[in-house]
Structure 1
Amino acid sequence: MQEKLATPKSKLQATEDWTVVILGFMVIGLFVAGLEINIPSYKWSQWSEIGKVVSPQSLFGILQQFVLVYALILFGNLIMRKPIKGVIKTFPIVFLLTVFALIVAGNAFMKEMGLEAVIFSLLIGLFVGNVFTLPKWLKDALSAELYVKIGLVLLGTSVIFSDILEAGTLGLVQSLIVVLSVWYFAFWLCKKLKVDDELTMMISSAVSICGVSAAIATSGAIKGDQKKLSYVVSMVLITAIPMMLGMPYLAKMMGLSQEVTGAWLGGSIDTSGAVVASGSLVGDRALEISTIVKFSQNVLLGVAALAISIYWTYKGAPSGSSVEKPSMKIIWERFPKFVLGFIAASLLFSFYLTPETVTNVKGSIKEMQTVWFALAFTSIGLETNFKDLIGNNNLKPFMAFLTAQFFNIIITLLIAMWLFNN
């Protein structure tokens, strides 16, 4: 009976690829149709302010998010014809751990350091998964890849084409040059160091485009190993902190203008939070330019994910395999459909919805996107053995990442001086 349910021939059964698009657009449709959810407040700086996080209004918002995501996950499993018994028991546990991670990430100091919620989700998941012996039914019901891809579909709503045009020609030019040159250098370096194909793609995208989001999108595009994704995300967040704190002082020592400094920070620091924090250390103009440049890089994520998806699906089996190049039909079957969802969401919010509607719903959708990504990394942590995460990844990927990041810093500085040194 199980075999019959698993067969892809059933017309009433959705694949996971299409399910993430369906669920992602269900979230979008609900908010566009007028669904309102209290956005929980996770911001606090002192222990005395924790009361705001657990206020009735905030707790009600958390409960609303739980009910919405829980219902969507159960519906997704039903249309994929997957068992829901384990999900019914597992999801509340994953959600509670994720909320704890969001509370930790909401601390003012953590925000200043540019640390994103996903790193705390991963760390908490790793702690629980390695300290306690988790039952098999819990691990079997984890759905990290599903959560990641739904978050990526929602990410498309933040790529608004009118905003891209307003970002400024210089910012777009710099972003295009930096992304192409740094991505190719990182790819070439990883190949030289014999880093495996999946890590090569994730590292190249993370260091050249927009850090964590790019690594997540690339992993989704190539159906990558979630443990390798955790490794790359950890590298991104570890290097972002010293760059965020050190680069403003280097810029001051070199006598760079605020415009050049902002372009340098925005083009080379990988996480948006760290870019904002670093730009703030320099001045208002540096903050403005750094934000524009980082946003310009972020909008290239959809294009990059599409290109990587096409390359990876055509590439087919790993190098050394005797499998023939796939036909167009096989390429379509392998092609990650969340990329189409990402692009469709971007087009919907750019050209079809009114600016008022976009303004009204983008905050709620952004919040839900954060929740989906955080849930994904909690799940990854729970199913990952810490020794495997560290031990199975030798130093070569880390060396490749650091070298590519250094190249990124140098090339971005030169381009920023060329374009913004009036």
Structure 2
Amino acid sequence: MSQQKIDWSAMWKKEDWWALWLGLLIFFLGLGPFANISLIGWNWHGNVWIDITKAISPNNKMYEWVGWGSLVLQYIFLLVLLCIGAYAMKYNLKKFAAGFTFIYWATAIIWIIGCWGYSAAVPTWDPKLGRAVPKVGNVVLPFSLGLTPEGGFVYLLIVGLIIRNAFRGFAEKLLDAARPEWYIKTAIVLLGTTIGVKAAGALGYAMVVLFRGLCAIVEAYLIYWPLVYFISRKYFKMTKEWAAPLASGISVCGVSAAIATGAAVKSRPFIPITLSSIIVAFAVVELLILPWLSWALYPTFSGMVMGAWMGLAVKTDGAAAASGALVDALIRAKAAGMGLNLESGWMLTAAITTKIFIDIFIGVWAFVLAVIWVTWIERKPGEKVRKLEIWFRFPKFIIGYFITFLVMLAIAASSSAAAKLANAAMGEIDPIRVFFFAMTFFSIGLVTDFRVFRKEGLGKVIVVYLICLFGFILWIGLFISWIFFHNVPVPLAKG
């Protein structure tokens, strides 16, 4: 192998590094609550709504007076930051700014539509009606698709696909700003903030729940991943650059894991991005099916088993949490009919804690795969691999993920007062992360040409996903959940 030196100019010329810089900048701005100020609290987040006037809110209540103006402020904020990066990376700045303007406003509008109650409201148990019904506040809806606001990801993808494949000329003008890898990598840097705060909160739960979360890591990474990779390669003849991100996306942590793995093994950029759209679509299907299956399986399987199962099975954080909440409500209602008054929140806790510990190791797994790919998979006979090659291969944005995760974990775990401030900071940062995810899915649609899929065999990828997810991943997850939680009862409510 020829001698290689670190190209320091990559630190201001590559998307990987710019995702790190932008993510860390937003992260440190979001730490304002620790100085009793709010520097980015005017950014907005979507609410599940029936009354359109209540569809969005600034992230910090002190900026409520800004109202819908927060959309404009966030647009200017992101436009400036991203244009700085675009200029440094020598993109066509005029085309980037114009394309980003359309992408931003289209994403915002579609995301708000995705938060409409008839689409996003998840059924919750109503004791007066004696059944689960979709609600927005105190308003009971006659029906809802129950997709959670994350259903907006699906809508964004669909609209992007329509524009790309039905209005090709217009779509071409947006491609300079349709940068799904840049957006998702920035979002993953910010994801460390959320995971760090939540992991610190999990430290206070019963040790058995923490232990189960750690065991989930062993399960997801050491059992699921090799099985999916083997099936993809052996029976479906998929290439390594498809099989590795697919295995991570199905078995580990959905979108974030697929992106990190793709970067570690140097897949072509559109591969993990394409897999991300499939992962989100399947997560919505799981959300609609698995909580009700859990309800049917109770009490054969205990409530804690069902809660942990949701954390293992559902691949996006929001859908996993929504599934856990619905399982908590459905099983408590069923138990009440059997004369058991179960305490609320424990099954949801099992779901979230399990998911958190899986999420934590996204960066670890990306590093492991980078080492494996450099040392064994792509190594030529007689070739000596230098350690520096691992640095070249390692996705740099994962450094940001570790920084934000470890900083917030240390702060939030230090004291209850610090934990409260950490939660306030997370409240300002996390909605921006979600919006970067949203722009990612719209951009995925904009860069996805169906003519390429016919060549790449996307149908084969979906078949592998179906076989692995419903063939063994769900059932192995249920079995291992049973092993660790079958003798852990949900506490009875007091009174």
Evaluate the alpha carbon distance shift between residue 270 and residue 89 of structure 1 in structure 2; reply closer, same or farther with a 3 A threshold.
same
State which of 474, 477, 484 in structure 2 corresponds to 1:412: 477
Q: Give the superposition deviation at 1:32.
A: 1.8
Q: Residue in 1 aligned with 2:226?
A: 184
State which of 175, 184, 203 in structure 2 corresponds to 1:165: 203
Distance in 1, Cα, partners of 2:275 & 2:94 = 33
**How far does the alpha carbon of each residue in 1:115-134 deviate from its partner, in whole angstroms, 9 at most, with x for none?**
44433222221112222222
Q: Give the superposition deviation at 1:359.
A: 1.9
Q: Give the superposition deviation at 1:322.
A: 9.0
Q: Give the superposition deviation at 1:277.
A: 3.1
Q: Give the superposition deviation at 1:323.
A: 11
Distance in 2, Cα, partners of 1:50 & 1:282 = 29
Evaluate the alpha carbon distance shift between residue 372 and residue 324 of structure 1 in structure 2; reply closer, same or farther with a 3 A threshold.
farther
Matches for 1:202-351 after TM superposition, within 5 Å:
202-254=245-297, 255-283=300-328, 284=344, 285-314=346-375, 326-351=385-410
**5+ unaligned residues in a row in structure 2: which ranges?**
1-6, 33-37, 58-64, 121-145, 329-343, 413-417, 488-495
Asked whether the 8 Å contact 1:267–1:293 carries over to 2, the reply is yes
Evaluate the alpha carbon distance shift between residue 211 and residue 13 of structure 1 in structure 2; reply closer, same or farther with a 3 A threshold.
closer
Mapped pair 1:145 → 2:181? yes
Asked whether the 8 Å contact 2:179–2:443 carries over to 1, the reply is yes
Q: Look up the SS of the partner of 1:140 in the other structure.
A: coil
Evaluate the alpha carbon distance shift between residue 364 and residue 314 of structure 1 in structure 2; reply closer, same or farther with a 3 A threshold.
farther
Mapped pair 1:385 → 2:430? no
Q: Give the superposition deviation at 1:394.
A: 4.2
Distance in 1, Cα, partners of 2:382 & 2:171 = 38
Q: Give the superposition deviation at 1:240.
A: 2.8
Q: Which amino acid aligns with 1:386?
A: F
Q: Which amino acid aligns with 2:54?
A: K
Distance in 1, Cα, partners of 2:264 & 2:119 = 30
Distance in 1, Cα, partners of 2:288 & 2:12 = 50
Q: Which amino acid aligns with 2:98?
A: K
Determine which structure has more spread, i.e. the larger CA radius of gyration.
2
Worse overlay, 71-80 or 37-46 = 37-46
Q: Residue in 1 aligned with 2:81?
A: 72
Evaluate the alpha carbon distance shift between residue 401 and residue 368 of structure 1 in structure 2; reply closer, same or farther with a 3 A threshold.
same
Q: Residue in 2 aligned with 1:3?
A: none
Worse overlay, 306-315 or 359-368 = 306-315
**How far does the alpha carbon of each residue in 1:181-229 deviate from its partner, in whole angstroms, 9 at most, with x for none?**
1112111111212112222122211122222232233234344334333
Distance in 2, Cα, partners of 1:53 & 1:40 = 10
Evaluate the alpha carbon distance shift between residue 197 and residue 89 of structure 1 in structure 2; reply closer, same or farther with a 3 A threshold.
same
Q: Give the superposition deviation at 1:51.
A: 2.8
Distance in 2, Cα, partners of 1:45 & 1:261 = 29
Higher RCO (CA-CA < 8 Å; seq separation 6+): 1
Q: Give the superposition deviation at 1:362.
A: 0.5
Q: Residue in 1 aligned with 2:39?
A: 35
Q: Which amino acid aligns with 2:105?
A: L
Matches for 1:13-24 after TM superposition, within 5 Å:
13-24=12-23
Q: More helix per residue: 1 or 2?
A: 1
Distance in 1, Cα, partners of 2:305 & 2:56 = 42
**How far does the alpha carbon of each residue in 1:80-101 deviate from its partner, in whole angstroms, 9 at most, with x for none?**
3444222122110111121123
Distance in 2, Cα, partners of 1:149 & 1:120 = 21
Distance in 2, Cα, partners of 1:335 & 1:290 = 30
Q: Percent identity?
A: 27
State which of 399, 402, 424 in structure 2 corresponds to 1:360: 424
**How far does the alpha carbon of each residue in 1:139-191 deviate from its partner, in whole angstroms, 9 at most, with x for none?**
23432222121111111112225335345333323312321211121111112
Q: Give the superposition deviation at 1:400.
A: 1.9
Worse overlay, 257-266 or 378-387 = 378-387
Distance in 2, Cα, partners of 1:135 & 1:264 = 41
Distance in 1, Cα, partners of 2:258 & 2:327 = 28
Mapped pair 1:108 → 2:151? no
Distance in 1, Cα, partners of 2:289 & 2:16 = 42
Asked whether the 8 Å contact 2:294–2:306 carries over to 1, the reply is yes
Q: How many residues are matched?
A: 411
**How far does the alpha carbon of each residue in 1:347-368 deviate from its partner, in whole angstroms, 9 at most, with x for none?**
2222257434422211121111
